[in-house]
Amino acid sequence: MGILVKAPAKINLSLDITGCRDDGYHLVRMVMQSVDLCDTVEVAPSSGGISLSCSRPDLPMDDTNLAYRAARLYLDQAGIKGEGVSIHLQKNIPMAAGLAGGSADAAAVLLALNHLYTRMSSESLLDLGAKLGADVPFCLQGGTSLAQGIGTSLSALLPLPDCFILLCKPDVGVSTQEAYRRFDGLKEVIHPDVDGMIGALKKSDLSSIAPLVGNVFEQVICLPELDHIRGVMKNCGAMASCMSGSGPTVFGLFAEEKQMKACRDRLMQTYREVFDTRPIGHGCKII
């Protein structure tokens, strides 16, 4: 038995794009929230090399997988030579969904290896995560955070009040690269009120938070499935519904469990990947 890590998904309560760097990376301001839909990642020492297995056979098991790359980067940066590691991913978070499932797995690998081999500081581990992807540092830290820059500069915020969060991923694909390309083509942009969201979180009042939920990508990702999901959520009493990340997953915030469950049952008649979750105050966690 190796180290077991719970790797939570995330949603974006607010997502804005504020500019673009000379190297092509977009600048963002996002309020990110961890939820209790988790992958389980097991990491154990092995006789040599990096081996990766997964409960989903359609996920690549080579160096294109972010969890594999996380192991390679950690071992190299820590100067660990001649040691191997085996990784198994038990996937529960939908893939290519805007929920940071791949980033969460990579963060879990970093955390487990840091427990097994060295003890880098939290700051060093966050810096290492940023080399892998913009969402990896948040997946390590978790909770409720403002993410700025390219998404790797994090500031902890007061937590989202406990509520019921429904996730629904339709069977359509959304390319993050294409989403950014479409955004760059917009002549006029309606920006979500990120500062307003931060202020609403300070009140710890869901009725103040809900109207400020927003995602700038919703102006360029126009799919009938997303409109249908948002409509069902609204009709079932969701206080807010919005796409997470560059999609295609839509989340709904509910004050009442009964309404959330009724919405879940309706959406499950049409969509395969529907999950009821709650907000949590942490990122990846050894169990």
Dump pLDDT digits (tens) for 225-260. 999 999 999 999 999 999 999 999 999 999 999 999
* pLDDT at residue 190, as a whole number: 95
What is the pLDDT averaged over residues 165-174?
94
Residue 269: band (very low, low, confident or very high) from pLDDT cuts 50, 70, 90: very high
63 is catalytic: no
**Does pLDDT of 53 surpass 90?**
yes
Other CB atoms within a 10 A radius of the CB of residue 1 amount to: 5
Told to judge if 10 belongs to the known catalytic residues of this protein, a careful annotator would answer yes
Position 204 confidence tier, pLDDT thresholds 50, 70, 90: very high
The pLDDT confidence band at residue 47, using thresholds 50, 70 and 90, is confident
- Which of 10, 91, 105, 169 is catalytic? The answer is 10
Residue of 16, 39, 135, 276 with catalytic role: 135
Distance (Å, whole) CA 254 – CA 37: 16
Rounded Cα distance between 13 and 15, Å, is 7
pLDDT of residue 89: 98
**In what helix (H) or strand (E) does residue 252 lie, and over which residues does it extend?**
strand 250-254
Least confident of 74-83, 93-102, 124-133, 151-160: 74-83
Residue 110 structure tokens: 């970093």
DSSP sequence for 232-246: HHHHTT-SEEEE-TT
The pair of three-digit structure tokens given for residue 201, joined into one six-digit string: 């979180």
Tell me the mean pLDDT in the region 33-51. 95
DSSP state of 230: H
Q: In the structure, what pLDDT confidence band is assigned to residue 82 with cuts at 50, 70 and 90?
A: confident
Give me the chain's average pLDDT, please.
96
Query: Coil, strand or helix: which one is 132?
Result: helix
**Phi first, then psi: what are they for 33, rounded to 5°?**
-140, 130
Quote the pLDDT of residue 145.
98
Res. 163: pLDDT tops 90: yes
The pLDDT, as a whole number, for residue 1 is 67
For the chain, what percent of residues have pLDDT higher than 70?
100
